[in-house]
Amino acid sequence: MLSSKGLTVVDVYQGWCGPCKPVVSLFQKMRIEVGLDLLHFALAEADCLDVLEKYRGRCEPTFLFYAIEDEALSGEDECFPHEKDDGEDEDMVSSEKTCTLAIIKPDAVAHGKTEEIIMKIQEAGFDILTSEERTMTEAEMRLFYQHRAGEEAFEKLVHHMCSGPSHLLILTRTEDTEDVFAAWRTLMGPCDPNVARREQPDSLRAQYGTEMPFNAVHGSRDGEDAGRELALLFPSFKFSDKVPEASLAPQVKSSVLPRSRITDLD
């Protein structure tokens, strides 16, 4: 299976929690969209393979990528000049800009504040690269907030984020002279709306939030978070050189896995 032509993605999972089903579904959807037999998926339990010992105990999705070169394409670079196609990749971000995820949460959307918040975002000097409204699934939000799974308010937060439509935006700065992540978090204000009203009364959370977790907006903490969050919610979005490559798994390595302990999902 690992010798199959094309790209093979292996979900390295822990025995106590099982495979990362939401991401597996996402990969399978991608395989259908690609249409060619060049994308393969498999499962490997870290506890059963000595070669995967260093991946044991990780409480985060981990994937291994294996690529077999297609000889028919090996001379492609020599045959075609590297010229940019004006119509290619509408979602590609300029290499001179960084971007971050912004979410107008269900509470603010339900109160009819979406357009008002978007106007304030634009007035603050942000460009909106992508904007769409949709209701998130429980599986998406559990994966999205997995770093907060041990908190008492985790279930309430997940339930709130799935309770109705959210408005998702990808933001960059009109003038890229300021850290887009810091600028957006400053505009949002402190996480707790009550604290925001005391300390930053002009912030979005002070104006549109009520109480936790109904604080109106969400934003990525930094470039690493942006890469993880955008990969989950906007899997087809392509990133600039300054933003970490979209990946739900920071531990992407190559190694040799015994075939007998790998489950082929194709």
pLDDT < 70 stretches in the chain? 1-5, 21-25, 27-38, 58-60, 66-97, 174-178, 238-266
Q: What is the 3-state secondary structure (H, E, C) of the chain?
A: CCCCCEEEEEEEECCCCCCCHHHHHHHHHHHHHHCCCCEEEEEEEHHHCHHHHHHCCCCCCCEEEEEECCHHHCCHHHHCCCCCCCCCCCCECCCCCCCEEEEECHHHHHCCCHHHHHHHHHHCCEEEEEEEEECCCHHHHHHHCHHHCCCCCHHHHHHHHCCCCEEEEEEEECCCCCCHHHHHHHHHCCCCHHHHHHHCCCCHHHHHCCECCECCEEECCCHHHHHHHHHHHCCCCECCCCCCCCCCCCCCCCCCCCHHHEEECC
pLDDT for the residue numbered 13 = 77
pLDDT for the residue numbered 76 = 47
Catalytic residues: 218
Domains in the chain, CATH or no CATH each: 6-69+248-264 (no CATH), 100-233 (3.30.70.141)
Assessment of whether the complete model's pTM goes beyond 0.75: no
